[in-house]
Amino acid sequence: MAGFLIKRFLQAVFVIVAVTLVVSFAIRLTGDPALMLAQGAGSITEDDLARIREALGVNKPFFVQYADFFIGIFTLDFGRSFLGGTPVIDLIKSALPATLMLAFASMFVSIVVSIPLGIKAAVSRGKWADQFIRIISLVGLSFPNFWLAIMLVLLFSITFQLLPPSGMDGFASFLMPALTMGIILTATNVRLVRTSMLETMQSQYIMVARAKGLSETTVLYKHALRNCAIPLITYFGLQFGGLLGGIVVVERVFNWPGLGTLAFDAVGGRDYPVLQAVITVLSLLIVGVNLLVDIAYGLIDPRIRTE
Amino acid sequence: MIKQGMRTAFMALAVAGGMLAASPAYADGTLTVSSPQDPGSWDPVDTFLVNWSSVATNIFDGLTYRGPDAKLVPGLATSWEVMDEGTRIRFKLREGVTFHNGEPFNADAVKFTFDRLMGEEGKKGPQRSNYAAIDHIEVIDDSTVDMHLTQPDPVLLTKLAGYGAMIVPPKYIAEKGEDYFNAHPVGTGPFKMVSYEPKVGVKLEAYDGFWGEKAKLSNLDYRFISEPSTAVAELQAGRVDLVIPPTIPIGMIPTIEEADNIKVVTTASPTVYALRFNTANGITKDERVRKAMIYGVDRKAIIDAVLGGQAAEIASFQGELSFGFDPDMKPLPYDPNKAKELLKEAGVAPGTNIQIDIRGNNATFNEVSQAVASYLQIIGLNATIKPYETNVMLNDIIPQGKTGEMFQQSWGGWTLDFDNTAYLMYHTGEKWNPYDSDEKLDALLESQRAITDQAKREAILQDIAKYAADRALEMPLYNLNAIFGVSDRVKNFTPVPDSRLRLNEVSVD
């Protein structure tokens, strides 16, 4: 176990170095933050720009800047935002919970809906219920999330005036963003649960369970669902990573004060420290979730644990 | 395991619900404003964004003040006198004024403010360069200061009304420190800051001790919403009372006009749009070709059809609010036949390809450039539109002279003075002028900077505009209005051209 964890830790470090290195380098190719800061200020001279660059620290060689950033990760010191000088860690501290809560809420919506629907579709394979669920999930899969978001706002905020169209203030504000993300995830997950269930249902131990005279509910939820949980957990885990990527669009439409909004603004404003920090946190999360998935395997399936 | 996952998710939701409680109800006298950007710091020295100003104009005062009518009036200085051929300005300061923390406003505060702007703290920010003419402040007595200049700056009194010249409290900053001040600003304005949540919003409340007309609102809440459709949805849902520019695109005006209880209010703004020419290479090197292209595009039709009439035609790269604007100067008329003649004269074969570079993120301008391309097609030029990401265009394509034959430039200085535009666009070697070099234009531009006689300066600025138009350095397109979305519950609202929106006279039902 210790060896496994050390190996995974080194992998995580490698992933984070690779990702942040590429992002830090690429963003620096796209424009001068000093000019960004100064262009609204009217007349600027090359001296003014040099002065601002020095204050921002972007006059140092790239690898020095990168090394400063990387060492900072270990003390959670991500520097200061170029825009206004707020310590980046303060921005992350308020944005990370917002994003995580939205991500969990979306996963929750998706899991709660997709598992029963997937099982139903698998059980009634080929019948109208199965067809119906499959068509609905295909439709769900085809929605672009920004479009879905705008339609939800139109319906629930403007026509019926039931839900707040944007911002994060209270339970009601979670519903539309979580639903937007959740519906799209659900569409994929229903199909996955269905396929996985169908495979499991054909195995011999299900036949044994039925032969023992167990009720269909026990067979389904105790024997079948547990066994098909492994591919599902892998997939949900990976999905969580994808979810964090896709959240940028949804956060923007719903003006959600999370990491996506932070990243979007940071790219637009060439705010290197903020962007680097967001990317680091996101990579850490994705690497972390993947690690958890691996550990979870062991808990679910003792065979993997002994290997 | 899945059960556990659900439980975690449930808990996350429960925690979320508990932490955030219910949405706040609107107390009487609260105005909620949607602003497109969080400036990150409220320190006047750090700022460069117009949306700093839309909030901070309510918190801070300058020595001078300029309201919606664009007239310069006394602010924290009750009067001023220009001395020593424009190299010294004596200000009489308003007495009995206090900062929001109770600290008195006096000559020391003025000296501290400008020492700070021109010193170490100011060096880190972008504002200092606008005030480069200031050498030092001399305190004459508690309510009199002399501002010594290294050279006359005819626009300085205007610049003292905004941004970097806002007067800040010396004791407060010394006690609390610079970092604290960024997020907890204190000024002498009609509203004081209550709380600031980065990326979310800022809450202000009326300051009882304000020296001028006291605020009619008890509270002023700003929310940062950058996505136009989201801001308009909030306005429609009645959760936002006022959407300030630059947020609402032309295309969304009908949506607001059709909805109940909200309306669109517009006013002339300093923002002008032009397609500037690459005067160094290609067919646009020839002045006749540039003129032909201007004749060939019906700018009036574009304003009416694409911009819904929310813009005015321009003859030079400035709007009517600009000092240096000449009402007698008329735009070149739409005349496709003349355009074709000029092209023929210049030996440009029909079907010649040209490229128009634009900023890709502006849906309205995208349509405008397509209309321009269609008009150019009629006179025999095949225009390709090339969109760039805004920052790439501003930081690389234009300054490095990598544009096609034409490129988008939108501009609008808050000082409303043509010097700010013309010098940066036309003077040799300036960042926004990668192609042209004209000795006569350089001399004109430099000459007006040293003059304090405003009438003389205005005449020179008008000459500059005419000269640039004669040489056809750009295709002037239009002067766009500032567009506000306003709820009907907002009373006594006056739109401002420059985002410096002071809301002490506004009230709500």
Chain B residues closer than 8 Å to A168 by CB: 20, 200
What DSSP character marks residue A104? Answer: H
Identify the pLDDT of residue B27. 37
The residue of chain A nearest to residue B259, with distances taken between CA atoms, is A158
Crossing angle for the helix pair B439-449 and B454-470, nearest 10 degrees? 160
The beta-carbon neighbor of B230 closest among A166, A232, A299 is A166
> Is residue B12 pLDDT above 50, yes or no?
no
Mark which residues 223-252 of A lie under 8 Å from B by CB: 225, 229, 232-233, 236, 252
CA A304 to chain B, closest CA, distance in angstroms equals 16
pLDDT reading at B478 higher than 90: yes
Is ipTM over 0.90? no
Residue-level pLDDT at A292: 83
pLDDT band at residue B48, thresholds of 50, 70 and 90? confident
Sorting pLDDT into bands at 50, 70 and 90, what band is A202? confident
SS3 for B33? strand
Q: How confident is the model at residue B11 (pLDDT cuts 50, 70, 90)?
A: very low
Coil/strand/helix, residue B67: coil
The whole-number average pLDDT for the span A107-136 is: 90
**Predicted confidence band of residue A1 (pLDDT cuts 50, 70, 90):** low
Whether pLDDT at B238 is above 90: yes
Nearest chain B alpha carbon to A54: B124
How many Å lie between the alpha carbon of A39 and the closest alpha carbon of chain B? Answer: 8
State whether the Cα torsion B278-B280-B281-B283 is positive or negative.
positive
Residues with Cβ within 8 Å of A113's Cβ and at least 6 positions away in sequence, in order, are A182, A186, A190
What tens digit of pLDDT does each residue of B375-394 get?
999 999 999 999 998 878 88
pLDDT at A32 over 70: yes
pLDDT at A44: 66
- What pLDDT score was predicted for residue A203? 87
* Residue range B67-72: mean pLDDT, rounded: 89
Q: What are the CA-CA distances from residue B214 to residues B104, B167, B507 (Å)?
A: 18, 19, 12
How confident is the model at residue A304, as a pLDDT?
Answer: 66
Residue A188 has a pLDDT of 85
pLDDT of residue A41: 53
Q: Is residue A237 within 8 Å of residue A112, measured between CB atoms?
A: no
**β-bridge pairing B474-487 and B381-388:** unpaired
pLDDT tens profile B286-340: 999 999 999 999 999 999 999 999 999 999 999 999 999 999 999 999 999 999 9
By the 10 Å C-beta count (0-12 exposed, 13-18 middle, 19+ buried), B320 is classed as middle
User: Alpha-carbon distance B81 to B46, whole Å?
Assistant: 29
Q: Where in chain A is the domain with CATH 1.10.3720.10?
A: 92-268
- Highest-confidence range of A29-33, A115-119, A202-206, B218-222, by mean pLDDT? B218-222
Which residues are CB-contacts of B508 (< 8 A; sequence separation ≥ 6)?
B28, B29, B30, B31, B217, B241, B489, B490, B491
The residues, any chain, with a CB within 8 Å of residue A47's CB and separated by 6 or more, are none
Hey, are the CB atoms on A104 and B13 less than 8 Å from each other? yes
User: Looking at this protein, which amino acid is placed at residue B126?
Assistant: P
Q: Is pLDDT of B23 > 60?
A: no
CB contact under 8 A, A85 and B20: no
Closest-CA distance, A76 to chain B, in angstroms, reads 19
Is it the case that residue A268 has pLDDT exceeding 70?
yes
Cβ contact A86–B413 (<8 Å)? no
Please tell me what DSSP assigns to residue B198.
Answer: T
pLDDT at B66: 93
Higher pLDDT, B60 or B26: B60
Q: Is the pLDDT of residue B24 over 70?
A: no
Residue A168 touches partner B, C-beta closer than 8 Å: yes
For the domain covering A92-268, report its CATH number.
Answer: 1.10.3720.10
Q: Which of B8, B46, B227 sits opposite A255 (nearest CB)?
A: B227
Element (H, E) at A109: helix A88-123
Write down how long chain A is: 307
Backbone angles phi, psi at B243, to 5 degrees: -110, 120
Which band of pLDDT confidence, cut at 50, 70 and 90, is reported for residue B431?
confident
Length of chain B measured in residues? 509
pLDDT of B6 above 80: no
Query: Which of A53, A253, A255, A261 is best to mutate for the B interface (most B CBs within 10 A)?
Result: A255
How far from B222 is each of A224, A300, B30, CA to CA, in Å? Answer: 53, 50, 10
In the block, tokens 């601002």 appear at: A52
Q: ∠ CA A232-A236-A241 to the nearest 5 degrees? A: 150
Average pLDDT, chain A: 86
Question: Phi then psi for B408, rounded to 5 degrees?
Answer: -70, 135
Distance CA A150, CA A153 (A): 5
The residue with tokens 């609260």 is B30
3-class secondary-structure state, position B94: coil
Confirm if A173 and A180 have CB atoms less than 8 A apart.
no
| Percent of chain A whose predicted confidence (pLDDT) is above 90 | 34
Residue contact B394–A31, C-beta within 8 A: yes
The single-letter DSSP state of residue B286 is: S
Structural domains of chain B sorted by starting position, each given as residue range(s) with its CATH number in brackets: 5-36+190-267+482-508 (3.40.190.10), 60-170 (3.90.76.10), 272-480 (3.10.105.10)
Quote the tokens at residue B77: 């200085």
A263/B contact by beta carbon, under 8 A? no
pTM: 0.87
Q: Which of A169, A236, A300 sits opposite B20 (nearest CB)?
A: A169
* Pairwise pLDDT comparison (A31 vs B184), residue with the higher score: B184
Residue carrying structure tokens 């007698």: B328
Of A282-291, B158-167, B251-260, the range with the lowest mean pLDDT is A282-291
Confidence at residue B1, expressed as pLDDT on a 0 to 100 scale: 38
Taking an 8 Å cut-off on Cβ atoms, the answer to whether B129 and A48 are in contact is yes
> Between these two residues, A242 and A302, which has the higher pLDDT value?
A242
The runs of H, that is alpha helices, within B192-252 are 228-236
pLDDT at B3: 41
Residue B398: pLDDT band by 50, 70, 90 thresholds? Answer: very high
Query: Quick one: average pLDDT of B274-294?
Result: 96
pLDDT surpassing 50 at residue B28: yes
From the CA of B229, how many Å to the nearest CA of chain A? 8
A294 near B CB under 8 A: no
pLDDT in tens, A218-227: 888 888 888 8
- Residue B134 gets the label, from left (phi > 0), alpha (psi -120 to 50) or beta, of beta
Q: How many CB pairs under 8 A join A and B?
A: 197
B273 residue type, one letter: Y
The answer to whether residue B7 scores a pLDDT higher than 70 is no
Collect all residues of chain B within an 8 Å Cβ-Cβ radius of residue A104.
Answer: 8-9, 12-13
Report percent pLDDT > 70 for chain A: 96
Q: Confidence class of residue A257 from pLDDT cuts 50, 70 and 90?
A: very high
Query: What span, in angstroms and rounded, lies between the C-alpha atoms of B355 and B482?
Result: 29
Which residues of chain A are within 8 Å of residue B158 when distances are taken between CB atoms? none
Distance CA A140, CA A181 (A): 11
Average pLDDT over residues A167-183: 91
**Percentage with pLDDT > 70 across chain B:** 94
Residue B22 pLDDT class (50, 70, 90 cuts): very low
Q: Is the pLDDT of residue A228 over 70?
A: yes
Chain A, 17 to 76: residues with Cβ < 8 Å from chain B are 30-32, 35-45, 48, 51-52, 55
pLDDT attached to residue A242:
79
CB B376 within 8 A of CB B354: yes
Specify the amino acid at residue A273: P
pLDDT digits (tens, 9 = 90+) for B446-455: 999 878 788 9
- With CB atoms and an 8 Å threshold, state whether A158 touches B233: yes
In Å, how far is B311's CA from the nearest CA of chain A? 22
Lowest-confidence segment of A44-48, B370-374, B392-396 by average pLDDT = A44-48
pLDDT at residue A175, as a whole number: 93
Residues of A in contact with B15 (CB under 8 A): 101
Split at pLDDT 50, 70, 90, the class of B9 is very low
